Amino acid sequence: MSLLVWFRRDLRVQDNPALWQAVQDARERAQPLTALYVFDPEGVGGWAPGGASRWYLERSLLSLHETLAGLGVPLKVERGRMTDVVRAFAHKVRIEGVYWNRVIEPGQAALDQSIAQSLRQTGVTVEVFDDDCLLMPEQLRRPNGERYKVFTPFWRRALELLEASPATVRLRPVPAPLDRQLQVDPGMLQSAGIAGRAAWQQKLAHHWMPGEHAALDRWARFFLSGIEDYDHTRDLPGLAATSRLSSALHFGELSAARLFAQCAERLAHETSDAARAGIRRYLAELGWREFGRHVLYGRPDSINRSLDRRFDQPGVWKPDPDGRLLRAWQRGETGIALVDAGMRELWETGWMHNRVRMVVASFLTKNLGIHWREGARWFWDTLVDADLASNTLGWQWVAGCGTDAAPYYRIFNPDTQAERFDPDHLYRSRWLPDGLRPTPIADLKTSRERALSRYRMAVKGEAA
């Protein structure tokens, strides 16, 4: 008999509560421990994993495989429906106990309950641990029991709870190795068929090094030398001023609890006003990640439907029957410099600066009038940090139909945004090096007025 730790969005050995307990029990009982990852190509709610995130996932799993081998824990990667694979694997390997960490996504709670019940009926013990959030959704509600719909009171209450129960209680060191050392098998992922072999995917290797060790190194460098300027440089896409850890946080190569705890500890002793402002701003960004998970937990249908149902009325979104406008946006051929630079950065690197994400999203949904789902799906396929909660929250916020959304009349002007946040043309020059600029596919002033008319119809019932 042996034990099993089931990895999902926690591809790390540090601060991993399920792995920590599994290793301790394996040592105490003198039992072998196996790690399992299940790749489900169907995804969640019709959102099959995108190409860029699959590329990142495959390489992150290879890194995890190497690290676990050093701990004496073999990693098995299987393809299929999670319910079927976990049950079958537990039976095949004669598993006595299974350990895993929670994931906050639609359907995951029911999935966990179903798998746990099935395993327990066969005599297998199951231990499930809190993870993926600083505070689990059931821990954070308004005084009247309802879920928060606005970020500021949500984050204020979250900080109060985190002060009372510090994130440090969730931290764990790397487990001590078990008795055996294992060989690393570079081909162990081939049968799972996780990543494709599209040419554009191969470019991502020039920009990313997935895995826990690389993520910890990026975090250490940013925390020591970048976070103190973060408050006033984070909106400047021409500078390397952000942590670029969104993919590491999504796949759990880093624990959000560790980032929060280290920031809180430094904030308690930091004397520099600039550094304190930068740390607070970074903590707020962790808060937005947290908020997205809590919103999605309460409204799982929001991955496909507008949170504000008024925006699902006919006439809010403009038809694009031949897809010409959408394709121009996807290819960075809109004739709007900042939009095109952002879309080309995305295609080349699998990532886009957050300020530019807001601008390109506003242009698609408001100036072009295309439904936010089209943009969300393109980001889902091309972002290495594609995350259902953050992606859904971000697109609905910009489109004006989400919880805590930007007002419908807030429409980003890409040219004004460029003048303000890329005044030296560093960003645009980097991603539009040829200087070519096609004829704009939309007039910013006219399309803005039309968007306001459509949105007034949705929000106020006024005729368009």
Six-digit token string for 303: 């991955």
- Active-site residue, selected from the candidate residues 66, 347, 348, 354: 354
Q: Is residue 188 classed as helix, strand or coil in its secondary structure?
A: coil
Strand order of the sheet with strand 75-79? 75-79, 33-39, 2-7, 95-101, 125-129
Active-site annotation holder among 78, 270, 285, 348: 285
Query: Which of 55, 288, 397, 431 is flagged as catalytic?
Result: 288
3-state SS track over 280-319:
HHHHHHHHHHHHHHHHHHHCHHHHCCCCCHHHHCCCCCCC
User: Which of 395, 397, 413, 431 is labelled catalytic?
Assistant: 395
Strand partners, 214: none
Element (H, E) at 34: strand 33-39
Q: Catalytic residue among 47, 317, 378, 380, which?
A: 317
Cα gap 100→95, rounded to integer Å: 14
Place of tokens 């909106």: 235
Of 20, 372, 378, 431, the catalytic one is 372
What are the residue ranges of helices labelled H in 107-169? Answer: 108-121, 151-164
**Token representation of residue 60:** 């992150």
Distance CA 397, CA 346 (A): 20
Asked if 309 and 406 count as a contact pair (C-beta separation under 8 A), the reply is: no
DSSP 36: E
- Check if 395 is active-site: yes
Is residue 285 part of the annotated active site? The answer reads: yes
Q: Convert 373-407 to b/e letters by CB count within 10 Å (16 or more is b).
A: bbbbbbbbbbbbbbbbbbbbbbbbbbbbbbbbbbe
Burial class (CB in 10 A: 0-12, 13-18, 19+), 312: middle
Q: Is 317 an active-site residue?
A: yes
Give the residue from 35, 99, 38, 93 showing the smallest Cα distance to 69: 35
345 catalytic per annotation: no
The span from the CA of 316 to the CA of 452, in Å, is: 10
DSSP β-bridge partners for residue 33: 3
Active-site annotation, residues: 285, 288, 317, 354, 372, 395
